[in-house]
Amino acid sequence: MESVTVLLNALWLAVPLYTANAAPVLFGGGAPIDRGKTWRGARVLGDGKTWRGAAAGILTGMTTIFLLNTVYQQLLVEHTVLPVFPLTALVALPIGVICGDMGASFLKRRIGRQRGAPVPVLDQIDFLAGGLLLSIIAAPAWFFSSFTVPTLFLVAATPVIHRVANLTAYRLHLKDVPW
Ligand code: CTP
Ligand code: MG
């Protein structure tokens, strides 16, 4: 694959991972998923993981993938070799993103970090790992034909972009903390 194609593929595949992860920050709030319950002296997930946030993330991720597929099929198909997302990936990838984010919160509460406390690296890769893992399980053939090693490497390197995005959201007062 040409390097430009690899780069475009990685960006294309990363877009829904990021929109699914960003939507809860914008639309989240309300009742926490763990219903305030604690386990071994700490909240199971914490007030930062809400039903509304999870639903917003999943719906936004699914909508993003639908739009990417539509744009590709309507406009780009003759010019590029971007991956089309099958229905299994459309469903699994955003759910995986939200589960990965929740899994990280679960781990953070177990090691005594309060809601919102930063855990570098974990905070940046939780949603990527979740989204990619559930995609492998739900759509293995698609996954391995779409994510070549260099593509996967580039997607895994996107936390640097994530960092810049969070810093921007903080500056715009959309987030309380710059991570
Ligand atoms: N959010 C939400 N529901 C989710 C995930 C996120 O409502 N399932 C919202 C919450 O308002 C949360 C914000 O998005 O505070 C930022 O998300 P995140 O950084 O993942 O949560 P934190 O508040 O930092 O909590 P944690 O320490 O558990 O990561
Ligand atoms: Mg956080």
CA distance 61 to 20: 4
CA distance 57 to 95: 8
48 lines ligand 1 (CB under 6 A): yes
Average pLDDT, stretch 116-130?
94
The residue whose CA is least distant from atom 13 of ligand 1 is 25
CA distance 61 to 92: 10
pLDDT of 162 > 90? The answer is no
Q: Roughly what angle, to the nearest 10 degrees, separates helices 3-27 and 159-171?
A: 40
The residue whose CA is least distant from atom 12 of ligand 1 is 48
Average pLDDT, stretch 126-151?
96
Furthest-apart CA atoms within the chain: distance in Å = 57
Ligand lying nearest the CA atom of residue 53: 1
pLDDT of 19 > 80? The answer is yes
The residue whose CA is least distant from atom 3 of ligand 1 is 53
Query: What are the tens digits of pLDDT across the range 47-81?
Result: 999 999 999 999 999 999 999 999 998 887 777 78
